[in-house]
Copies of this chain bind each other. A is one copy, B any other.
Amino acid sequence: MLLQLDYKDSRPIYEQISDGCRKLILAGVLAPDEPMPSVRSMAMELSTNPNTVQKAYAELERQGVIYTVKGRGNFVSGDLKAPLGARKAELREKIAMLLKEADELGIDRNELLEGMVKK
């Protein structure tokens, strides 16, 4: 796995793990039905506690990004349309809030996005 924990990050460790995995999975780096690293092995790799990884995986399962088979492990979800759509909606909402604040500060949206988006 290509995950890197950052102790300066304000997000808790379990969230860095779930966010990182979700990103990799939704980006297609991990294929559907492929097994995730086991809770224990990922904990070893990241030098963290298995409970912390478990919490991250539980969140991913809740989001529909992975599924758990008892006694066998965790696997990348077969259908990622829903979680991908959900994430897209989240990104849109976050950007909308930031742009709204810019409006209130009198900052022009196009100026704020200068160089970030092709017109």
Is the pair A67, B107 in contact by a Cβ cutoff of 8 Å? no
Of the candidates B23, B70, B119, which one forms a contact with A12 in the assembled complex, judged by CB atoms under 8 Å apart?
A: B70
How many chain A residues touch B (Cβ–Cβ < 8 Å)? 38
Q: How far is the CA of A89 from the CA of B28 in the complex (A)?
A: 31
Q: How far is the CA of A99 from the CA of B112 in the complex (A)?
A: 13
Q: How far is the CB of A25 from chain B (nearest CB, A)?
A: 10
Of the candidates B27, B69, B94, B105, which one forms a contact with A7 in the assembled complex, judged by CB atoms under 8 Å apart?
A: B69
> Mind listing 26 A-B residue pairs with CB under 8 Å?
A7-B67, A7-B69, A12-B70, A13-B69, A13-B70, A13-B71, A23-B105, A26-B105, A27-B105, A27-B106, A28-B106, A62-B62, A88-B105, A88-B112, A91-B98, A91-B107, A92-B112, A94-B94, A95-B98, A95-B99, A98-B98, A99-B117, A109-B116, A110-B118, A113-B117, A119-B119
